[in-house]
Amino acid sequence: MTDRNVASHSPTERLPALAEAVQAAGMISLQLQARANASHAPPGLFPALPASALARVAAEAQSSLQAAAHHDLQSLQPRSQALLTAIESLARSAIALDEGADLALGLRGLAVDLDHCRVEVRALTRAVAQQAEMIRVSEQKIWGALATELDRVEGPDGPLMASCERIEAIGLEIAGTARAAMTGLGISLSHCHEISAALCGLANRAVLLPRAKPEALTLDGPFVDFPELCQPVWALLGEYHALASEAQTVAIALALASRAAAQSNFSDDYAECLHLLEELFTSFAVEYRALAVAVLRKSRHDKAVARLAVDRRLWQAAADAVSEILRRDRAGDEGKRAILPADAQAA
């Protein structure tokens, strides 16, 4: 995550922070998109379970995640893309600033555009935070129902509880390894999207496979390019398959709780990135209004122009980051490799 202490940074430090924040927001948005697509696909949903209190809460959680996915795909993702398009246009305008007689006018116009982006970011941040809270409520309900069911069936220290704890630990390991892979190795956003989609389907693959066919568990898609993910992914598949063989309702409830937790965490990260963007846009709007005054004063003109020359190169980096994200976003699902079977595209 990028540094939130905006006020302590010089302008030449804040512009790289802007490019970094845009890149981070774009990657998280793509991961949310992959999860929403998986959660929203009817072929990948968990089947109806035998009637029980846990099954009822699991069904409610699945419905809530479906509703959140629908809202994400129909509202949040288009708004995210519109925001990125506005940021790209803003960056291009900053790059194209003419150092001639109309420079002050161009700077004032750029400040207005920054204000518009700030307003859009603030509105999107509120919407993302509201959705995260809705998902968190479902997450808390299903964790509570799962704990109650396990205590009723076997007490606090039974084998099912131990299995759930192992799955949680492996899931955290996979999440950390995947995040490091996606943020530290400079992989393409297309590959990032594939990893996210594949991780979304892991639990369903294991839980929904016939009990007699553990050999059907296979690793394919992006995992072959990241051997550090293969061992924990294999372990997770095996643990989920074993748990589902003993108590499928518990396995499905755990998968839904884990999916809700991941979804709310990604949404929180996205809201944090957006809040940083809002702070950066506010800061730059103030600075460019001040520069618009400075370029009209002979004593400060040359210094202001030199500052803009540095900014122009840094705005180019921000524009490049946005362009890459938009290319991936606009591509949608075209040309994507088959990562998971059609009946295992949600987790």
Residue 344 lies in a domain: no
pLDDT in tens, 110-162: 999 999 999 999 999 999 999 999 999 999 999 999 999 999 999 878 999 99
Instruction: For residue 17, name the pLDDT band (cuts at 50, 70, 90).
Output: confident
Does any domain span residue 37? yes
| CATH number for position 45 | 1.20.1170.10
Q: Find the mean pLDDT for residues 239-267.
A: 90
Q: Is 5 domain-assigned?
A: no
Predicted local confidence at residue 298, as pLDDT? 84
Q: What is the pLDDT of residues 267-324, one digit of tens each?
A: 999 999 999 999 999 999 999 999 999 888 888 888 888 888 888 888 988 888 888 8
- Note the pTM of the prediction, 2 decimals: 0.83
> In the structure, what pLDDT confidence band is assigned to residue 184 with cuts at 50, 70 and 90?
low
The alpha carbon of 342 is separated from its chain's Cα centroid by a whole number of angstroms, namely 23
Is position 2 within any domain? no
d(CA 162, CA 132): 29
**Total domains present in the chain:** 1
Structural domain boundaries, residue 161: 10-332
Please name the amino acid found at residue 228. Answer: E
C-alpha 146/C-alpha 56 separation (Å) is 11
Residue 335 in contact with residue 190, Cβ under 8 Å? no
In a domain, 342, yes or no: no
Residue 311 lies in a domain: yes
What is the mean predicted confidence (pLDDT) over 172-189? 71
Q: What is the predicted pLDDT for the residue at 161?
A: 93
The CA distances from residue 86 to 9, 79, 158, 275, in Å, are: 24, 10, 54, 16
CB 232 within 8 A of CB 170: yes
CA proximity to 91, closest of 291, 308, 314, 272? 314
In a domain, 167, yes or no: yes
- In a domain? residue 347: no
184-197 average pLDDT score = 67
